[in-house]
Amino acid sequence: MLKLLKQIKGPENLKALKEEELIELAKEVRQFLVQSLAQTGGHLASNLGVVELTIALHYVFNSPQDKMIWDVGHQAYVHKLLTGRRKGFQSLRQFGGMSGFPKTKESAHDVFETGHSSTSISAALGMAVARDLKGEDHQVIAIIGDGALTGGMAFEALNNAGRGHTHLIVILNDNEMSISKNVGGMVKYLTKLRSSRDYLRAKEGVEDALNQVPVIGEHMVHTIKRTKGKFKSFLIENTLFEQLGVTYLGPIDGHSYEELLDILENAKGMKGPVLIHVKTKKGKGYRLAEENPSAFHGVSSFNIATGEISKKCEGKSFSSAFGEAMLQMASEREDVVAISAAMPEGTGLLEFSKAYPRRFFDVGIAEQHSITFAAGLAAQGIRPVAAIYSSFLQRAYDQILHDVCLQNLPVILGIDRAGLVGEDGATHQGLYDIAYLSSMPNMHILAPKVPEEVEGAIRYALHLNAPVAIRYPRGTATLEVAYHHDYKDVSLKTLKAGHTRAILACGKFVGLALEVSQLLEEQGESLAVIEAPCCYPLDKEGLLKIAQGYDYLFTLEDGILLGGFGEKVFSLLIQEGYTIKGHQFGYESGIVEHGDIAHLLEKEGLTPQKISVQIQRLCGKESK
Ligand SMILES: Cc1ncc(C[n+]2csc(CCOP(=O)(O)OP(=O)(O)O)c2C)c(N)n1
Ligand SMILES: CC(=O)[C@@H](O)[C@H](O)COP(=O)(O)O
Ligand SMILES: [Mg+2]
């Protein structure tokens, strides 16, 4: 059982294996990944696809002297396994356990942290230039997927790399998949490269060898044998990459060690930037994942035989409510269109994409573009709704400010995964959106507290005719129907009366505020609960009434405190000449690591228990 894998405590043990043993090792790695992730959950399909590639990389290169940068980083599990972290898989993505992404603190082999897409080539180029400036001698390798290559930054980096002579290696892992099927012109181009035999021509060090190989026919595949070895890869000239100044090698079979070891060994000695096009199969080796890679992209624990997911979301998620509401809006208004940046499943827009293919736009992993594209649509009278996860929307800060808000264009942002997302960790927690959006002119931020309010929020946003962000969290939330409202107006709403003290909350955390109030009530204390359906701009009139009616005001938000909702509340009160005692509850630190949400909230002091104790203390009372 896992005879070879168990011997591997680091890349040196891998290097001690014979080439023939690598095939068996790949089997063991796949077996381990499926069994382990069936328990813990994680990013399965992408990792199953890069088993041979990662083994070959660690066989040929010397990590950590040679630097490997994993784009997105969700496919770095095999790298973790080969660099002494097998035991860490027991606690993968759990609170206090091993991260699902590369982490510099976790291992010297993780040289650059990722989580968001399309950063690897820029970082690799920076590291390669630093190496040359410092007179060092090592390799820098970026491993980027075809999905991540749809992100503009990857092209900015290639463009930059291509104009210089800095040596770096870019591995393009092409499995024709993003989370869903990959989309766009680049994908078509890669497909053409995968199948084309017209371009084949030898290049660089193999040109001499090529001259000695008889030309079999203009359109036939040239097998190029290197004098020193058995370099059988195809070298295609005039690719887009070549024209940018990056040597293109491939495409090769990413599950064949013969091809992988050969090409990696050769790429080491080449000059300038080199891109190796590697074809792989997402989900390889686990039939269910091969057949449906999207379903096994990111999973929670599952049954290996049936693929059935064990932890199901109970109740309707905010994302599904958003998807349903968008279907409804589209049926009512012809001007409504939906935009996704490579996340139609995650954002609940899959049905919309099928029902309204002409009004649905998956732009790839291109958040920046998605927003300016939406601005263009809005400028011409269309009503675009772009559904993007909170943390990925950070990519589009200036597009929202410069292209949408300054022109006051009616672009609606469906900000999914706002607040804690849990297991994906620091790179993915949606903590910053209120802080950065509320400083933008003309922007409105709505925060439905239950999925049932999402449709009302979209209707209200459409009626506003201005930039509107609707933020809602991962998963679901439930509250008694009596607390729901229909977003006909966004004035502050008192959900529960109280005297002297009030808590003002927004979004899903309104539920938490109600729990705090309940707990205090059980101790004979009162705390009024007030909801802000719109976190920004604030309902000034309503807020001034609160300042007059209570001695203490507490705010509660599922976001970072610095620049957040609470800060805006207290700052407005100060501006208006009011002083009120109180406190802001939210995330004090800008970094919240991975783990299940319950543990994270406990650590952040955001449980009913901890908040109520804190409130009592701040009011100079003992908790009972
Ligand atoms: C900026 C950003 N947007 C969206 C995502 C969500 N996301 C994670 S992996 C992924 C697909 C990546 O596809 P690819 O790079 O081809 O890797 P594969 O999963 O196919 O191995 C997406 C869209 C992200 N991590 N970062
Ligand atoms: C790696 C990545 O960024 C995505 O796969 C992300 O993990 C998806 O998150 P959800 O599971 O919340 O859709
Ligand atoms: Mg891919």
- Please list, in sequence order, all residues whose beta carbon lies within 8 angstroms of the beta carbon of residue 551, skipping any fewer than 6 positions away: 500, 501, 580, 581
Atom of ligand 2 nearest to the CA of 392: 3
d(CA 202, CA 523): 80
Measured in whole angstroms, the distance separating CA 488 from the mean position of its chain's CA atoms is: 33
d(CA 359, CA 344): 13
d(CA 57, CA 68): 9
Q: Is 564 in the pocket of ligand 1 (CB under 6 A)?
A: no
Ligand 1 center from residue 50 Cα (angstroms): 14
Ligand nearest to the CA of 145: 1
- Please list, in sequence order, all residues whose beta carbon lies within 8 angstroms of the beta carbon of residue 585, skipping any fewer than 6 positions away: 554, 555, 556, 557, 566, 605, 606, 611, 614
Predicted local confidence at residue 226, as pLDDT: 38
d(CA 493, CA 509): 14
Predicted local confidence at residue 217, as pLDDT: 29
Three-class DSSP category at 435: helix
Structural domains present in the chain: 3-196+236-291 (3.40.50.970), 197-235 (no CATH), 318-471 (3.40.50.970), 495-618 (3.40.50.920)
Q: Which residue has the tokens 């680049």?
A: 186
Alpha helices in 465-539 (DSSP H): 509-522
Q: Is 449 in the pocket of ligand 2 (CB under 6 A)?
A: no
Tokens of 429: 């927690």
Q: Is 531 in the pocket of ligand 1 (CB under 6 A)?
A: no
Atom of ligand 1 nearest to the CA of 116: 26
Q: Is 74 in the pocket of ligand 2 (CB under 6 A)?
A: yes
Q: What are phi and psi of 215, to 5 degrees?
A: -80, 115
Atom of ligand 2 nearest to the CA of 73: 1
CB atoms < 10 A from the CB of 463, how many? 12
Q: What is the pTM of this model?
A: 0.94
Q: Is 298 in the pocket of ligand 2 (CB under 6 A)?
A: yes
Ligand 3 center from residue 45 Cα (angstroms): 10
**Sites in the chain below the pLDDT cut of 50:** 197-199, 201-232
Q: Which of 235, 217, 237 is nearest to 225 (CA)?
A: 235
d(CA 499, CA 553): 11
d(CA 597, CA 422): 5
Beta strands in 552-598 (DSSP E): 552-560, 581-587
Q: Is 76 in the pocket of ligand 2 (CB under 6 A)?
A: no
Contact 104, 91 (CB under 8 A): no
Q: Which residue numbers are catalytic? A: 282, 367, 395
Atom of ligand 2 nearest to the CA of 117: 3
d(CA 525, CA 613): 12
Q: Is 539 in the pocket of ligand 2 (CB under 6 A)?
A: no
Residues linked to residue 67 through DSSP beta bridges, in sequence order: 140
Which of 416, 424, 429, 596 best tests ligand 2's pocket when mutated (most atoms within 8 Å of CB)?
A: 424
Which of 421, 474, 597 best tests ligand 2's pocket when mutated (most atoms within 8 Å of CB)?
A: 421
What are the Cα distances from residue 48, in Å, to 99, 338, 394, 486? 18, 32, 29, 46
Ligand nearest to the CA of 147: 1
Predicted local confidence at residue 196, as pLDDT: 67
Q: Is 390 in the pocket of ligand 1 (CB under 6 A)?
A: no
Question: What are the pLDDT digits (tens) for 221-262?
Answer: 333 333 333 444 556 778 999 999 999 999 999 999 999 999
Predicted local confidence at residue 195, as pLDDT: 80
Three-class DSSP category at 336: strand
How are beta strands 534-536 and 444-446 bridged, if at all?
antiparallel
Ligand 3 center from residue 519 Cα (angstroms): 48
Alpha helices in 41-168 (DSSP H): 44-49, 51-60, 77-82, 120-133, 152-162
CA-based torsion, 543, 549, 552, 554: positive or negative: negative
Measured in whole angstroms, the distance separating CA 510 from the mean position of its chain's CA atoms is: 26
Cα separation of the two ends of the chain? 55
The DSSP code for 400 is I
Question: What are the pLDDT digits (tens) for 376-390?
Answer: 999 999 999 999 999
